[in-house]
Amino acid sequence: MQSIIVEVEGDAHDHKAYLEDYHPFVDVVATFDKLFNGLALQGEPEKLEEMESLKFIKGIHAVQTYETNTNTVKSLSDEQSDAVIPSDLNNTDYTGKGVKVGVIDTGIDYTHADLAGNFQGGYDLVDLDDDPMETMPEQGIPTLHGTHVAGIIAANGELQGVAPDAQVYAYRALGPGGAGTSIQVIAAMEQAVEDGMDVMNLSLGNAVNGPDYPTSVAVNRAAELGVSVVLANGNAGPDNWTVGSPATASKALSVGASSPPQRIPYLYEPSAEKQVPLVTMVGSPTWDLEKDYPVVSESEQAGGKIALLKRDDIPLYEKAKEAEDNGAIAVLIANNTDGMFQGMVENDQEPLTIPVAAISKKDGEWLSQQAQADSLYLETAYQEAKSSIADFSSRGPVTVNWDIKPDLLAPGTNILSTVPDGYQLLQGTSMAAPHVAGAVALVKEAKPNWSNEQIFGALKTTANRMETDGDGAPIEPIMQGMGEIRPKQAIETDTIISDPLLAFGKVNSYKETETIEIEVENTTNQEQTYSFDIPKKEKGLTWNLPQTFTLDAKENKTIPIEVSINTTQLNEGVHQGWLTLSENGEYYYLPYLFVNQTADNPKAMGFEFALKPFSEDTFLYRLYVTEPTKCVTVDLYDPDTLVRERTLVEMEDVEIGMNEGELDKSDIGNPGNYLALITVQLEDGKYESYQTPVYIEG
């Protein structure tokens, strides 16, 4: 038996009845009509193949498989000095009691002792049954992601989540190894809406930075139906324009990852006043040497010393283990290319007991020269780093509508949570989003009559704007949105600004005036007076803000924010900053953004090329375009020699958004692995291009 999800035209329920009458060997196991129009079907492959001939079926979506990396499962009793515990975020008296949270992910190990009490059910959109368990090893590449996410939200046992009394439902949209399509994700969301979820968490996404990708559209529809949807912003940072769908959705909360204050170790050689930055490897004990130690470049001479080794083809664990067996106190592994690297030395059977860290090639060469010339001793020193934004956290803005994303930040590094058979540290915006989903559950319990807009507005209004570790200037809006969430302040806030992220769009003409209306609510029982700090006069930019306004008790009011932009007096590109609104000593920082004429955003992205389901001779391609475009060409190159092979696709009449088409197998040439060069000719005649690997099936 095989499972597929199909999109249909017309009434999905009528088509269900038709299939039951005329295709009795195909089972219709689910009907979707809220977030998209479709059916979930099961049957033997030859029976499902008949669906392709039915005119009312727009698209057939089979499972696509992707590989994910999993790390060693750790016991909660293991020493985790740098671990972030989800419950630390909850400084309120609330626990999320009575709030239903749907986890759209890889499933949940609902037998885990810390999750079994709160797990209430769900659905499996991969196997199309009522058992949303994580993929087990005997079923394929095992998964643990959804269990980790669920624990952050609502673990209630040896480990505590942010909202330990919330009711957890699992919707398995990603199968073995993290396999799934956008339609499976949308179908999972639809089922969650049908089951009455109050909150949905989606710690998943793609690389398409556009507001109208199907998953983003579905997220907005779910929000319109009253569900609080929380999304991971993506792990493609630190570059801008890296937020991907569905985190580009305008009506959900997109979450970036913050890192806690850190005591970062580095090595110091006092005579040369030389500092050597370290990157402790995954699976290594914390680098915490209490005195200075000599350094040697030979593993067999490392007894009581720090072993300085070079990165090569030998696995990092094997190099470090040999040094440990020779009595090394610690191991440094110098990179063999420029820059730093993040290594892994985990081993289930025989874990290392000494710290192992990576250093740069340049520092490795310097240390090696000093060690050979004379006795070299290194001290361990520490740098105190403020809470900041994780390098991997994706940045905005969103293309096409130029929204500021993320909306908020939450802890996303070294997060300890549940996994099948134990606990594990993971990091990513996948870990940040469930912190916010748990916080939403706390606010829903505390304020049951608040709307989605009020809940989201309260979390945004009270977020803590983050500053740089150097000069104390605020970090850019496209990196942090409103800042780090603070659940207690959100619940107790005197003011809610429902839409405080001010995206003025793209300005093209000589001079334009743009206006955005924000809604400000006084939640108290007394009158409150607010005032804007009028920004300093800036060439090419003039703000028109109400200097003061007053709200009566429980009153809300729409406030216009106007900016006049002279494009000739400003540099082209993205302009962003902050406006300040104050009330009786309380300050609210509103991020703003506009694009002057053009920006360095990607003009095309998300190229996909694959065989059409149940077909052996028709290929489908898709490409997302963000700017007015004359044409797009996809050329194939040999990935080894970079010699051009042929043109695969030529697209004209290109639209902003998703563009799709089909090619016959006879027209695409030889199968194999290629490097695709996607070239976009914009309407102004300029060319933009990017590369992506493509595999053509034989």
Residues taking part in catalysis = 105, 145, 430
Q: Cα dist. 233→125, 361, 519 in Å?
A: 23, 32, 25
Q: 117 and 462 in contact (C-beta within 8 Å)?
A: no
Neighbour-count burial for 129-148, b at 16+ CB within 10 Å, e otherwise: eeebbbbeeeeebbbbbbbb
Q: 269-273: list long-range contacts, CB under 8 Å, 24+ apart.
A: 269/370, 269/376, 269/377, 269/378, 269/379, 270/379, 272/370
* Distance (Å, whole) CA 693 – CA 93: 51
Of 359, 383, 434, the closest CA to residue 105 belongs to: 434
* Distance (Å, whole) CA 678 – CA 609: 12
SS3 382: strand
Q: 201 and 434 in contact (C-beta within 8 Å)?
A: yes
- Could you count the other beta carbons within 10 Å of the beta carbon of residue 199? 31
* Distance (Å, whole) CA 276 – CA 364: 9
Beta sheet of 2-8, edge-to-edge order: 27-32, 38-43, 2-8, 57-61
Is the four-CA dihedral 268, 270, 271, 273 of positive or negative sign? Answer: positive
Of 623, 641, 608, 595, the closest CA to residue 688 belongs to: 623
DSSP secondary structure letters along 452-498: HHHHHHHHHHT-B--B-SSS-PBPPHHHHTT-B--HHHHHH-SEEES
* Distance (Å, whole) CA 534 – CA 182: 45
Number of H helices, E strands in the chain: 11, 38
Q: What is the dihedral of CA 516, 588, 590, 245, to 10 degrees?
A: -110
Q: 428 and 234 in contact (C-beta within 8 Å)?
A: no
CA angle 321, 324, 326 (to 5 degrees): 115
* Distance (Å, whole) CA 176 – CA 130: 17
- CB under 8 Å to 548, separation ≥6 — which residues? 529, 530, 531, 532
* Distance (Å, whole) CA 190 – CA 35: 6
- Could you count the other beta carbons within 10 Å of the beta carbon of residue 582? 15
DSSP secondary structure letters along 394-451: -----TTT-----SEEEE-SSEEEEETTEEEEE-SHHHHHHHHHHHHHHHHHH-TT--
* Distance (Å, whole) CA 43 – CA 27: 6
Of 620, 264, 313, the closest CA to residue 413 belongs to: 264
Eight-state DSSP code of residue 344: B
SS3 147: helix
> For residue 434, is the peptide bond before it cis, meaning its omega torsion is within 30 degrees of 0?
no
Which helix (DSSP H) or strand (DSSP E) does residue 379 occupy?
strand 377-385
Residue with tokens 């046992």: 157
Residue with tokens 């044409």: 631
